[in-house]
Chain A
Amino acid sequence: MSDDPYSAAVRELFLNTVHGGDLPDAVVVDVAGAGMQLRLAARHIDGRLEALRFRAYACPHVIAACEAFCRGWEGRRVADLGRFAATDIIGDLSVPVEKTGRILVLEDAVRALGRNIGGAATE
């Protein structure tokens, strides 16, 4: 359909979220900005992300981006969270330029999550 503001990837991720919600015993990060609120939750074992969840009051692109992050990062190394780049998701989901600032908020949240997990592991 012409002028569809959402790519097929955004539609699929938005309509089929399976990572929405909370995790018991998880490290949690809350961020707000650009008219939206995000919460990321991660549970980790032996330096790996065992489970990820998110909550979002946000537009479809951000919800899709959160779901994409959770799907793509479960099982990966906690230490790699600092390398998460919003540009990858922006490209994969064909996020329009006026929405890219919102995906950068997600990037901030992911990196804060990595720092918080590191801090929790140290304690």
Chain B
Amino acid sequence: MPPEMLYLDYAASTPVEADVAALMLDCRTRAFANPSSNHLAGRQSRALVETAQSQLGALLNVDPRTLIWTSGATESDNLAIIGAAHYRAHRGKHVVTMPTEHKAVTDAFHQLEKEGFEVTWLTPDSQGQLRCETLAAALRPDSQLASIMFVNNETGVIQDIEALGTVCREHDVLFHVDAAQAVGKVPVDLQALPVDLLSLTAHKFYGPKGIGALYIADRPGCHVEPLLFGGGQQRRLRPGTLPVELIAGLGLAAEIAAKRLHADFDKLVKLRSALWSGIEAIDGLIVNGDLDGGFPGILNVSVDGVEGESLLLALEPLCVATGSACNSQSQEPSYVLRALGRGDDLAQSSIRFSMGRPTTAEDVESAAQRYCAAVTRLRALAPSATA
């Protein structure tokens, strides 16, 4: 990254840890054999895959055999949601989720709607929290699947996964959790949590892009039908030659995350507090999410009187995410923030600061100063600033 850039977009992606990159490079030249092969070289590759499975299993506190490798969280979400819905379709075709989920989830549910499933879109409270009674009220005898994300990627709101999962168990409904923003960042103990399916991706916790995993609980009625067909790898649930170097990288990233989890979290709490202190004096500043209970790596704010795309350009070389229509792939203001009741202008002016392992106190101080200056400048330029 050019030295003049200030990267505060770690919720979008993280850099690969140096040790992870070194291991992957070594795998590329030394362990290139197909792990499905039964010769010596294949067994060597297979051992690396099994090590990674154990490392990820340890991070999640699960039997490694319950983990399926995928290309990332989007594929995991699709396999979990569509695969589970298909598997249980003979029992009923009602499924539930929230409009504030990641597109990988909402679009998978839209696909189910096209196939004849009935989707109930649950409304969270103004901070983005889903109440257990809201979920319970939506579940019916023909409900088969609920999908609720662990940490919201835009706002950092953390759902009460244990309580929501308990509601699902009481109604014999499979519970899928998109944990792309949670794994490696907050404790995820799948022995303690009533979760049936859980999606994750490596590049959100300092591993490589292009590799993720899906946890499928080993319990009756919990299964998915495959979306891909080919070889017999991974119990035919997700066939295809396993990318050993990516899997090894994910495994080591998981091991490092397990060791650093609490230290990283505590550091992020301090960084977010410092960032908030630096900008909270701005008149009309609105926090999108939960400043006290949300994931501390994310601070999402909106201001009125400032056009979002101009704000983003004025913030350069600060690299942050925005709800602005014109600079995102989408042509709409953030659908997540609109679902939380924000108007188009506030959704468009939203800025998501997301901090990570490399972030320093100086980084957030600089970001706060730059944000305050940009807001002041653009507000002064707006017609509404006229006396």
Contacts and interface: CB of A to CB of B under 8 A. Distances in A.
Interface of A: 5-6, 11, 14-15, 17, 20-22, 30, 36-39, 55-60, 63, 99
Interface in B247-300: none
Contacts, number: 49
B327 interface: yes
B382 A63 contact: no
A99 to B, nearest CB: 8
Nearest to A28: B386
A5 B322 CA distance: 15
Given A5-B327, A59-B326, A37 B309 contact: no
B9 to A, nearest CB: 16
Given A20-B380, A60-B309, 20 more contacts: A14-B310, A14-B314, A17-B381, A22-B386, A36-B307, A37-B384, A39-B383, A55-B381, A55-B382, A55-B383, A55-B386, A56-B383, A57-B305, A57-B307, A57-B382, A57-B383, A59-B309, A60-B310, A63-B381, A99-B326
28 contacts: A5-B327, A6-B313, A11-B313, A14-B313, A20-B381, A21-B381, A22-B386, A30-B383, A37-B382, A37-B383, A39-B386, A55-B383, A55-B385, A56-B381, A56-B382, A56-B383, A57-B305, A57-B306, A57-B307, A58-B307, A58-B310, A59-B307, A59-B310, A59-B326, A60-B310, A63-B310, A63-B381, A99-B326
Interface in B369-386: 380-386
B285 to A, nearest CB: 18
A107 B310 CA distance: 20
A99 B309 CA distance: 12
A70 to B, nearest CB: 12
Contacts of A30: 383
Contacts of A15: 314
Interface string B347-387: 00000000000000000000000000000000011111110
Contacts of A21: 380-381
Chain B interface SS verdict (over half): helix
Contacts of B326: 5, 59, 99
B284 to A, nearest CB: 14
A97 to B, nearest CB: 13
Contacts of A99: 326
Nearest to B381: A20
Contacts of A11: 313
A98 to B, nearest CB: 8
Interface string B312-330: 0110000000000011000
A39 B385 CA distance: 11
Nearest to A10: B313
Contacts of B314: 14-15
A99 B382 CA distance: 19
A55 to B, nearest CB: 4
Kindly list the 10 A-B residue pairs having the minimum CB-CB distance in the complex, ordered from nearest.
A57-B382, A55-B383, A39-B383, A59-B309, A20-B381, A60-B313, A37-B383, A60-B310, A57-B307, A58-B307
Given A6-B313, A14-B313, A36-B307, A57 B384 contact: yes
A56 B382 CA distance: 5
User: Which of A6, A30, A58 has most B Cβ within 10 Å?
Assistant: A58
Contacts of B386: 22, 39, 55
A59 B306 CA distance: 10
A28 to B, nearest CB: 9
Contacts of B383: 30, 37-39, 55-57
A99 B86 CA distance: 44
B329 to A, nearest CB: 11
Contacts of B382: 37, 55-57
User: Which of B307, B309, B382, B383 has most A Cβ within 10 Å?
Assistant: B383
